[in-house]
Amino acid sequence: MTKLSNALFNRLVIAIPYIWLIIFFMVPFFIVLRISFSQTAIAMPPYLPVFSLSDGWQGFWDNIGQLSFDNYIWLTEDALYINAYISSLTIAFISTCLTLLIGYPIAYGMARAPTSIRPTLLMLVILPFWTSFLIRVYAWIAILKPEGFLNQFLQAIGIIDDPLIILNTNIAVYIGIVYSYLPFMVLPLYSTLEKMDESLIEAAGDLGCPPLKAFWTITFPLSLPGVIAGFLLVFIPTVGEFVIPDLLGGSSTLMIGKTLWTEFNANRDWPVSAAVAIILLLVLVIPIAIFQNAQAKAAQQ
């Protein structure tokens, strides 16, 4: 083996993730982007223009000329879309915060548990994935419905007389999201907390810092990378979440995933739903890119 083939190999290794991204992210992205600039049509596929090699150069340029921002303008004109975006972001934000609040103590407890039982605890966190996501969400219907397990239990022990209406409200959506996405919060938190040197807390205590204060001045700031990773891992998919609001939420639960589904399947309006998807992507990617850029700059200094 020579240096040359080594270098080639190194490049290949680096290239693999890029190739992956191009095939499975960039190409679909450009297809969606291009559909979002089209007009709906009763045809197959249900939009115009359709690019075809047989059109030649002239046809290509004609088709380009037909692309427009109409769908995006349409999105701004109908309050439904803006409300759906805002409501999605709000629901996602609140449920991510709830996930963090519940996930942090779990991850902390796991990281402080005796080394011998940590792998077991880790398994337990991942265990729900062994069952289909859909089935688990359906199970929540059985728990939360007016005559469901939760209400039966609460009535049996006499806390409530009339069943609580939880199913088909935003509360059910929060419960569903927190439950489903908890592992995505716990795992990155656990991995940063577990790596943390326990003697730092001892040192803080040694210097006169009581445990609770030591948590806020030492442990929490040092776990921020995990908090951010967990937050993004939960927040991003939740914004576009469809199944949970569809099954657990009510008619008043407005989320962009549902809107997109309606546009795409019920209205067969591919261009508008493509535009909805592109805006969603931008709403998520741009702030995160800015944030990461700032982080990288801060790290450099």
Partner 1 sequence: MKSLGSIRRSFAPWNDSSAKPYISFKNVTKRFGDFTAVDDLSLDIYNREFFALLGASGCGKSTLLRMLAGFETPTSGQIILDGQDLSQTPPYRRPVNMMFQSYALFPHMTVEKNIGFGLKQDGMPKDQIAYRVAQMLKLVKLEKFASRKPHQLSGGQRQRVALARSLAKQPKVLLLDEPLGALDKKLREETQFELMDLQQDLGLTFVVVTHDQEEAMTMADRIAVMSAGKVVQVATPAEIYEAPNSRFVADFIGDVNIFDGNVVSSEGGKTQIAVSEDLTIVAEQNGSGPASGAAAFAIRPEKVRIAREAPANPGFNAVKGEIWDIGYLGDMTIYIVKLASGQTVRASRLNASRELENPIGYDEEVWVSFDDNAGVVLKD
Rounded distance between C-alpha atoms, residue 104 and residue 85, angstroms: 28
Q: Does 276 bind partner 1 (CB under 8 A)?
A: no
| Least distance to partner 1, CB of residue 192, Å | 12
| Least distance to partner 1, CB of residue 209, Å | 5
Rounded distance between C-alpha atoms, residue 176 and residue 182, angstroms: 10
Among 27, 75, 85, which Cα is nearest to 273's? Answer: 75
Q: Does 208 bind partner 1 (CB under 8 A)?
A: yes
Of 222, 228, 232, 247, the residue at the interface with partner 1 (CB under 8 A) is: 222
Rounded distance between C-alpha atoms, residue 47 and residue 6, angstroms: 49
- Residue 225, preceding bond cis, omega within 30 degrees? no
Specify which residues 40 forms β-bridges with. 47
With contact defined as beta carbons under 8 Å apart, do 146 and 102 qualify? Answer: no
Question: Interface with partner 1 by CB under 8 A: which range of 94-102, 121-129, 155-163, 195-203?
Answer: 195-203
Q: Does 17 bind partner 1 (CB under 8 A)?
A: no
| Least distance to partner 1, CB of residue 189, Å | 17
Of 147, 161, 162, 206, the residue at the interface with partner 1 (CB under 8 A) is: 206
For residues 7 and 224, which CB has a smaller minimum distance to partner 1 in the complex?
224
State both tokens at 273: 């739903």
- Provide the strand spans (E) within the chain: 39-40, 47-48
Question: Interface with partner 1 by CB under 8 A: which range of 93-101, 148-156, 213-221, 234-242?
Answer: 213-221
Q: Does 225 bind partner 1 (CB under 8 A)?
A: no
Question: Interface with partner 1 by CB under 8 A: which range of 46-54, 91-99, 197-205, 226-234?
Answer: 197-205
Of 116, 199, 252, 300, the residue at the interface with partner 1 (CB under 8 A) is: 199
Rounded distance between C-alpha atoms, residue 40 and residue 18, angstroms: 33
